[in-house]
Each structure stands twice: as C-alpha cells, then as structure tokens.
Amino acid sequence: MNRSLIASIVSGLILVSLQILLFRNFAFFNIGFAFVYLLFMLSLPKETNHLGAMFLALLIGLVIDLFYQTLGIHAASLVFLMFVRPFWLSANVPRSGYEVNDLMVLGNYGLGWFMGYSLPLVFSYCCIVFFVEAGSGDLFWQTITKALVSTVITLAFIIIAQYLFYPKRR
Amino acid sequence: MGKLLSFLYRFRAFLIFVIIELFCVWLIVQNNDYQRSAFAASSSSIVGSINETAKNVSGFFRLQSVNESLAAENARLRELLSTSVNVPEDSMDTYLFQTDTTDSMMYKYLKAEVVMNGIRNVNNFFTINRGSAAGIEPGMGVINASGVVGKVRAVSENFAQCISLLNTRNPISAKHLPSSRMGTVAWEGSNPKKARLQYITTDIAIEVGDTIVTSSFNAVYPKNIMIGTVLSSSPDANNTYLNIDIALSVDFGSLSYVYAIKNNTKAEQDSLISTNPLLYE
C-alpha cells in the first residue's frame, strides 16, 4: 500500500508540473496536445475511493484549467474520466485478475491490457475537452481530428514514460 | 424515508458526479461570458508569477528575434518622426504652441510583455505582465508594432488577462482601406494566420493585398491600426456579401512586447452612446 501511495503522490506532482511548465507549450502538428498528467489519474490503484478520486480529479482539473485558460473544461472531463474508470476497470479485467493496491500500469498488466484500458478513456477525455472548448459542432471535423491526434500523442508519451520510469513487476 | 436514504447512499457516486459536473458547467458558463466581468483566475498573482518565471526561461531563447522586431519598430518610428516635421508657411506658426496638452492626448500607450499566450484553442486568451497597478483596465485594446492583438478582459494588481483576436467570440470593427467600407473581422477557429472579413457587400472592388485596418467605430482601438491584408475574396451563396479571407499582420505565435491602449475619452463616448433611446428599448 505504502509504496503505491508514495509512488502515486510523487508521480502526480511531477506529472502535473511537467504538464503545466513543459507540455502546455507543445502542440504537435499544430493540433496534437500531450496530456501526460492523465498517466497519474489512470495509474491510481483500483482500490482508490471512488468519491475521493472524483474530488481529486476536480482539484487537479482546476489547476490544469488555470494554466490553459479554460476554467472548468479540463475539470469536467477529468471528473467524468474518474467517474467511469472503476466501471471500465471491472469490465476490462486482465486474464490474471487485479492484485490488491497495484498501480494500474503497463509494467503490471502488459501493453495490450493497458492500451485497451487507456485508449477509450483518453479519447473520451480529449473529445469532451475539445468539443466543450469549441462550444458548438460547427468545427466538427477539425475538433474530432484534434481529439484523435491528441489521443495518439498522449498515449505515446504515457506508454514511453512507463517503459522508462515505472518499475516492472518482479 | 429509510429506503430513500439507502437509495441515495447506493447511488452516492453518481449523485456526487452530477453535482461536480454541474459545478464545472457553472464555471464554464461563467467564464464564457466574454465581454462582461469574468473570473480573473488566470490573471491571479500565483498563476501569473509562475507563468512569468516560465516565460523568463523560454524567453531567453527568443531574445534575438524580439530585439530585431523592436529595432525595426524603432527605425520605423524614427522615420515617421523625420517625415512629420512640417515646414510652416507662415512664420507666425512657430510662435504658437499648445498651453494645455491634456486635451490633445486621446490615447495613451502602456507597454507590457506577454507572459502566457494560446493560439491552438478555438477561443484563445493571453496574459500580460501589467495590471491595475500600471493603469490597465478591462476593455482596453492591445496592439503591437505589427497590428491589433486583442482586448483586456480582466485585471489583477500585476497581471491582466486578455482576449486574443484569435478568439471566435471577439469580432473587431474593421475598415477596407481603399474603399473605406466598414466590416467585421472575426477569427474562424482554425488557422492562427488567417481571419475572415464579413459584411462587405459585393459591389465593392476588393483586390488581393488590400489593407484592412481598424475602423473609427469603436472606443477600444485608435482608427487605422493594421489588422491584415486581403488573401482572397469571393461572393457568398446568396450573392449579398463577400467572403474575404485576410492574412493577419501580427504573428501570434511569437508575441512578446505589446501596448495596451488607454482611451481617455472612452467613458464619455460610451455614455453618449448609451443615452441613445433606440439602442435600449
């Protein structure tokens, strides 16, 4: 428990500040954003309190919003992500089952499982952010492209970061 | 009652989720109220100073291009200064001078530096490092050496948050310089180098390269401030207006030093307009 908790807090602080200071300034191909801090929210153990996770999402979302100048938008999508996450986790159990208090990361459950777990969540997150930000469906194709490209780039960064910095099991 | 409570308890996660989302929606709606007073959240001092520190680091690598643009502006102003000395025909004019210069000062330029800037969203904002302490007020126009940049939206003591011209909800009253016809420049939400000039009727001859400037129909910008040049023009489906694409003169990707414009007569101008009974029936 303690190791996961400390790893979570440290990775959360590092990822949120990296997002604010570094990744906010990058837009790949002009339309792709890298929301690397999602790795922190996605990697929280399955046992994390559902309500607590949503309030944490609200807090982190608002901090991100302050720096993106989009008050409420990232918070709303991040709370949505944390609300559906437990249901998606129990619908998408890896073959070996979950272990108590394990971080939900690639090193523990494998690349295939992690892709299946994170891809729909990150994509729905990006969709909510960009459609609420656009305010209407006028720029539908542009917005959906933005969401798709951002999902791919976010996932690429998240997966590389896990290979580099997260411990492998055993 | 017990059943109701146990029902509520069972679905507490969903209820809390709905409540938090409603709170977020409330924030978004509040913040979408672009023209009136808005949350000065990102102009607050903590966020502002973090951004300024980050900008100091990244700004170091752009010093050369910033210097070049400032030197170019200096050169242009010097040239202007040398050409504007008019030789009086009547030598008596030399002895006339204004005793009170406060009346002739309609606009005052306050310099500031952009510390945070967005160009990738549909509705973009930027933050400058001067606030109410330096005399910045909501509603002031912001320009730089190349043209119109945006408008101040909310101020704190040392920072101000501004709506960029690259914001679909920030249209600007504009003028087609060769014909002096009025229109509106609005950004379309995708390309940070292009905007759309609207409400120009088809009887106007528009050439590629024509200059688009601010009109005198607003109290925010002085007239004849550059906005951009015409890229292409074609009649719309009903043949009533032209669809005119313009290339913006400001490079929003590399904003650094800007001027906020204080219009000393704005209050007077606005109060006169608001007494018009036809506008507020």
Contacts of B124 in chain A (CB under 8 A): 69
Q: Is A139 an interface residue toward B (CB < 8 Å)?
A: yes
Instruction: Yes or no: say if B264 and B110 are a contact pair by the CB < 8 Å rule.
Output: no
Q: Is B28 an interface residue toward A (CB < 8 Å)?
A: yes
Residue B45 neighbours by CB distance under 10 Å: 12
Q: Is A21 an interface residue toward B (CB < 8 Å)?
A: yes
Q: Which residue in chain A is spatially nearest to B14 when comparing CA positions?
A: A83
Residue B231 neighbours by CB distance under 10 Å: 16
- pLDDT score for B281: 42
pLDDT tens track for B123-180? 888 999 888 999 999 889 999 988 999 999 888 888 898 999 999 888 899 999 999 9
Instruction: Yes or no: say if B156 and B209 are a contact pair by the CB < 8 Å rule.
Output: no
- pLDDT score for B35: 46
Angle at A109 between CA A104 and CA A112, to 5 degrees: 110
Q: Is the predicted pLDDT of residue B96 greater than 60, yes or no? A: no
Contacts of A138 in chain B (CB under 8 A): 189
pLDDT tens track for B177-215? 999 999 999 998 888 999 999 999 998 889 999 999 999
**Residue of A54, A71, A138 with shortest CB distance to B20:** A54
pLDDT tens track for B27-37? 888 776 654 44
Q: Is A135 an interface residue toward B (CB < 8 Å)?
A: yes
Higher confidence at residue A166 or residue B84? Answer: A166
CB contact under 8 A, B24 and A55: no
Please name which of A72, A70, A64 lies closest in space to residue A34, comparing C-alpha atoms: A64
Higher confidence at residue A103 or residue B166? Answer: B166
CB contact under 8 A, A133 and B123: yes
**Residue of A50, A58, A61 with shortest CB distance to B13:** A50
CB contact under 8 A, B28 and A27: no
Distance (Å, whole) CA B223 – CA B152: 18
Residue type, B262: K
- pLDDT score for B195: 94
Taken as a whole, chain B contains a residue count of: 281
Q: How far is A128 from chain B (nearest CA, A)?
A: 12
Query: Residue A131: CB partners within 8 Å, gap ≥ 6?
Result: A137, A143, A147
CB contact under 8 A, B42 and A67: yes
Query: What is the value of ipTM here, to two decimals?
Result: 0.86
Q: Is A144 an interface residue toward B (CB < 8 Å)?
A: no
Mind listing the domains of chain B with CATH numbers? 41-76+106-166+256-264 (2.40.10.340), 172-250 (2.40.10.350)
How high is the mean pLDDT of chain B? Answer: 83
- pLDDT score for B36: 44
